[in-house]
Amino acid sequence: MNKVYSDKQRQLLKLWQQHKLRRINLLEGSVRSGKTWISLVLWAFWVATMPQDGNYLMVAKTLTSLRRNCLDLLQTLVGKNNFSYSLSKKEGCLFGRLIYLEGVNDARAESKIRGMTLQGAYCDELTLFTEDFFSMLLSRLSCPGAKLIATTNPDSPQHWLKVKYIDRCAELDMLCMQFLIDDNPYLDPTYIANLKKEYSGVYYDRFILGLWKTADGLIYRQFADNPEHWMVDTVDKKQIDFISIGIDFGGNRSLTTFVSTAVMRNYSALTVLRDYHIAGRKGEIDADRLSREFVGFVRKLQTDYPDVYIRYCFADCAEQYLITTLRKALQQAGIPLPVGDSDKNPIVSRIICTNTLLNTDRLHLLRGCDLLRAGLEGAVWDSKAAEKGEDKRLDDFTSDIDILDAFEYSFERFMRKLVKT
């Protein structure tokens, strides 16, 4: 046992062995601290001792993240003979117990569990859930001895989970245990050192130090303090794997923007090659002008990088008419460039990816990309949203959010390849 578990993990398992788990059991703290691994071990041990005819639930933000973070790992831990699952049926079987599987990624999530009577529930990344869903889930845990086991990384100190549960832990039938990256003795020290370099600001505080911190001030302070560090005069064209373009369409007060990004070989880095605004206000830019200027933008890239494959273009998926217009314009111009929908990943995920690339010196801007430079320098957190416990980029036209959106659309489909951690 000593060779398998860390001290903190053994401490948790002893609580289970001594029947000292509580109704709500929350494992929170930094990334790569071993909390998810031990939570699944604990879940498996506990479920194996509970009634076979009870109802059990495993839930995450999405079914995909549940599979990626938990289900496959649980299967590895206990073996396929002891745990099998089907995402299409949204069911699993753990030591002969029926396990319901759910995602909570929409407003109807609460209704998915209404009427259930649960013996136990497992929650992955609890801060991503809505308060209404969690309240409903607790009300469903009505069997004698019912328990909830959950994991999460820290978030804002105003988050509902912190204010209404963690801060009231002593009043509730609740166990809170913090896990830190330095509690995990099985990680390579070089890996830990590199991981600590990848985060900065509020995300270093949360994901490395395990602190509940407010997102405030500059988002990319390291860039704003020394933007010249990330500016380059040339790019090695032989190291470019492909070019990807992001487009954000303008609205009442915002501008239509294009950003072309070079993805370097093996997704090792990004270099922003060119950024562009279509000048003019809403009503002055029609579909013909949009098409004309975008084709010109692509033509310039083809001239500057004749031997580099312009592989992708991703545009704001809310504007399907304009996307169709651009596809036709490119086809008529003889340019074989597909225009797809942006992934619309959560903005916070895109911010974390950008921050990690900056911190590891894997994002550079070709000199002349002054629009994106200004956008990165001026991006700030929304202080009013922070008061509500939300991480939100300020979007009140005091900074150029459009250029940041276009930039993020150019790479968001590759985030997991760019930042594997």
Give the start-to-end residue ranges of the domains of the chain: 7-192, 221-418
Output the pLDDT for position 317: 81
Residue type, 31: V
Q: How confident is the model at residue 79 (pLDDT cuts 50, 70, 90)?
A: very high
**Rounded Cα–Cα distance for residues 374 and 223 (Å):** 10
On the question of pLDDT at 252 being above 90, the answer is: no
| Average pLDDT value for residue range 283-289 | 75
Question: How many helices and strands in the chain, by DSSP H and E?
Answer: 17, 15
pLDDT digits (tens, 9 = 90+) for 96-114: 999 999 999 866 777 778 8
What's the whole-model pTM score? 0.84
Residue showing tokens 């704003």 = 224
Lowest pLDDT segment from 60-64, 202-206, 227-231, 277-281: 277-281
Pick from 329, 185, 316, 198: nearest CA to 247: 316
| Average pLDDT value for residue range 32-51 | 96
Domain 221-418 top-level CATH class: alpha beta
Q: How confident is the model at residue 319 (pLDDT cuts 50, 70, 90)?
A: confident
What does the block give as tokens for 245? 């373009």
Residue type, 137: L
Neighbours of 340 (CB within 10 A): 14
Q: How confident is the model at residue 283 (pLDDT cuts 50, 70, 90)?
A: low
8 A C-beta contact, residue 313 and residue 337: yes
pLDDT digits (tens, 9 = 90+) for 190-227: 999 999 999 999 999 999 999 999 999 999 999 999 99
Output the pLDDT for position 253: 62
What does the block give as tokens for 73? 């790992």
Query: Which residues are 122's β-sheet partners?
Result: 58, 149
Helices (H), 143-286: 160-164, 189-198, 201-207, 221-225
Domain 7-192 top-level CATH class: alpha beta
Lowest pLDDT segment from 69-83, 140-154, 246-260: 246-260
* Average pLDDT of the chain to the nearest whole number: 93
CA 295 to chain centre: 33
Name the DSSP class of 69. I
pLDDT digits (tens, 9 = 90+) for 1-10: 445 899 999 9
